[in-house]
Amino acid sequence: MLVSLSDLHLQDIESQQDTNIRSDQNVHHKAFIDFLQWISEEYLDKYKDETSEKLENLPSEVKFPDDLKDTILYDSSRKLLILKGVMSSGEKETLLGLSKDKRYNKAIEALFQKSQTEIKIVLNGDIIDFLRTERWFNFNDPIIRPYEDYDAQSIPPIRWEDPTQFPTLNSQVEDVLLEIFNVVTGIKYGVNYNDATPNVKTIKALAVLRRFKREVEGLGGAKPCEEHKDINDIFEDENKLKTWVDKLKKIHGLKIQYIFIPGNHDRLINVSSRLNAALRDFFLIENSQENYSAERFPWELHMPDYGVFLRHGHIYDWTNGEENIVFQRKDAKKTDYSFVWQKGIYKGYKDSKLYYNTPIGDLITIDLITFMPYRFIEDYYKPKKPSSLVKICKRLREIDDVRPQLAVLPWLYDVTEGNEELWKKIVDVVKKALDNTFSRDEGTAQGEFFRRWDSAHDRRFFPDKSDLFGNTIALAKKLLKTPKKLFEKIYSLMEKFNMGREESPVPKLIEEYIKGHKHPFMDSPQEYYVAGHIHSSSTHFLEEKKAYHCTGAWRTIHFRCLYKPEFKKMKSMNFAYFFRPGERKGAGGKVYIWRGLLEEEA
């Protein structure tokens, strides 16, 4: 069974220092309990303890050993080689040694693969959010940002084909990344966290996820966060996870495997070796050497047993994936950005150095989206802490969860509830955030980065992404001065022409890409392309046996209503799961897509 989920965006709530205005966007641990119960029930319901493989004749020299006679048998009437339970590697070698017959050996190999019991849970990017944290603003030093040119500054130069090598990273930046990780996972607090701990729901959620694997597989090495009383109750209560864990334990050889693919908000896990090792150790994700030492994660995975290809999906978003705009860079023709990893990854895997270049989206997320509420709180809330601004402070921290993203300005209008003075404050802060983000000032991290990015993407005589930013900033500043009624008319026209409202542009982008380049999914035997990044769940059938599915997010989303200029707030929880051919018993589907929306009481 293969399960994929993405875009949890677990945030560093501790960095939001005033407890009255914290935004609680993180996943509740009860949602993880429901999720693990669901997949456990589905696996147990469909698990079959007997597998078979067609074999025309059993070679005459094959005599099954006495200790395997109750495990494997040949049904001559049905011409089936039948296996009960799980075949171990040792048993496979014993059975293969009984004959050199190719058909027999092929059947044994097939039975071995079919019998393996596994639940693979793919954490398909943007699981922990290392960008949306106000911790980046806690420094007097204006250069403490993760905007470095990692390839250029690494001495000695990195051999990118070796996934155990990592770029040289500013030590203060790396310390911030590890602090975020330790806060979100609860490592910082040990066992002594409680309901007043800022990230308590996230800590419990991740503790449940980690302990689930340890309990099923009988592993030691518990983290202190797993030994909290509430976590013990979850695994000792028959009505929670205990029943399912006990049933899963009875399946011989069952493995729970967590697989991680970086997204754009947790891309830095592939930049910091210390952070990479910390994540492997916490989620119990072994590297190619079967230990938890640092090794860069692949950005995409083929799972041929399930017919699934996985990526986070930010490659198609040019603001968050530098590798997507390689052909727009002025040095693209003379630079080869692709190479092959030779160990730990399947043979055809290609990586790109551009994955390690900072995308413009990191700058936007930190110094525009995260800076906006921070600046508003510093300028207008902190001096007197008026209760009238509590709601707007919380809502500003959720600005990145408005869908479609083009609806951000109408949403800001909406949260002011017609208060002109409050709107003036928001306009002031938005202008400051725009100036802060796209400044070219020397001596600041954002200024140094934006000048470097602008230079790399400037095509001089042709329109380019650099020009787009300049025009967009100017337009945004003009729109901020527009009266509400006029802006609604402008926005309605934009909606009419579907500008920025398309649910998922990815299928169209795949089509454009494959016109000139070999596509790793379309040119593969896999049937499903599973991605995240776009926070709404959607499925698109590209061909009869080619489907693109975005799993959506596990977050609270502010949805723009279709018929009125209003917004609906809903919690989203989505995942997809797949079965291998012959893995499940009885008739039924091999692909299941689960979309969940929860409306909480006001």
DSSP state of 314: G
The last residue of a domain, from among 452, 470, 496: 496
Which residue, chain included where needed, has tokens 């994700």? 285
| Domain assignment present for 94 | yes
Are the C-beta atoms of 6 and 263 separated by less than 8 Å? Answer: yes
Closest by Cα among 396, 305, 389 to 346: 305
Are the C-beta atoms of 401 and 28 separated by less than 8 Å? Answer: no
Phi, psi values for residue 514, rounded to 5°? -75, -5
Predicted local confidence at residue 87, as pLDDT: 85
| Domain assignment present for 420 | yes
Q: What angle do CA 80, 85, 88 make, to 5 degrees?
A: 100
| Domain assignment present for 465 | yes
Burial bucket for residue 162 (CB in 10 Å: 0-12, 13-18, 19+)? middle
Number of domains, the chain: 2
Token duo for residue 29 = 């641990």
| Domain assignment present for 270 | no
For residue range 381-402, list pLDDT tens digits in order.
999 999 999 989 998 999 988 8
| Domain assignment present for 377 | yes
Q: Which residues are CB-neighbours of 539 under 8 A, at least 6 positions away?
A: 547, 548, 549, 550, 593
Whole-prediction pTM: 0.88
Predicted local confidence at residue 75, as pLDDT: 92
Q: Measured between alpha carbons, how far is residue 473 from residues 28, 166, 470 in Å?
A: 37, 35, 5
Predicted local confidence at residue 62, as pLDDT: 93
Number of H helices, E strands in the chain: 18, 17
Task: Count other Cβ atoms within 10 Å, centred on residue 596.
Answer: 17
Helix, strand, or coil (residue 568):
strand
Are the C-beta atoms of 222 and 211 separated by less than 8 Å? Answer: yes
Range of the domain at 70: 50-115
Token duo for residue 371 = 């800076």
Closest by Cα among 367, 359, 279 to 317: 359
Spell out a b/e string for 18-35, using b for 16 or more CB atoms within 10 Å of the CB, else e: eeebbbbbbbbbebbbeb
Which residue intervals of 186-268 are DSSP H helices?
A: 200-217, 229-236, 242-249
Pairing of strands 308-311, 528-531: parallel
| Domain assignment present for 378 | yes
Q: Measured between alpha carbons, how far is residue 176 from residues 60, 92, 96, 149 in Å?
A: 66, 48, 53, 18
Token duo for residue 30 = 């009860």
Phi, psi values for residue 164, rounded to 5°? -85, -5
Predicted local confidence at residue 98, as pLDDT: 95
Helix, strand, or coil (residue 402):
strand
| Domain assignment present for 506 | no
Which segments of the chain have a pLDDT < 70? 141-142, 150-156, 323-354, 464, 484-485, 487-488, 491-492, 494-505, 512-518, 586-589, 600-602
The last residue of a domain, from among 97, 115, 133: 115
| Domain assignment present for 135 | no
Token duo for residue 183 = 């806060």
Rounded Cα distance, 468 and 470, in Å: 5
Predicted local confidence at residue 64, as pLDDT: 93
Task: Count other Cβ atoms within 10 Å, centred on residue 390.
Answer: 14
Predicted local confidence at residue 575, as pLDDT: 94
* SS3 letters across 120-178: EEEECCCCECCCCCHHHHCCCCCCCCCCCEHHHHCCCCCCCCCCCCCCCCCHHHHHHHH
Helix, strand, or coil (residue 542):
strand
CA dihedral 455, 457, 458, 462 (to 10 degrees): 170
Are the C-beta atoms of 228 and 191 separated by less than 8 Å? Answer: yes
The last residue of a domain, from among 115, 138, 156: 115
Closest by Cα among 191, 227, 265, 359 to 12: 265
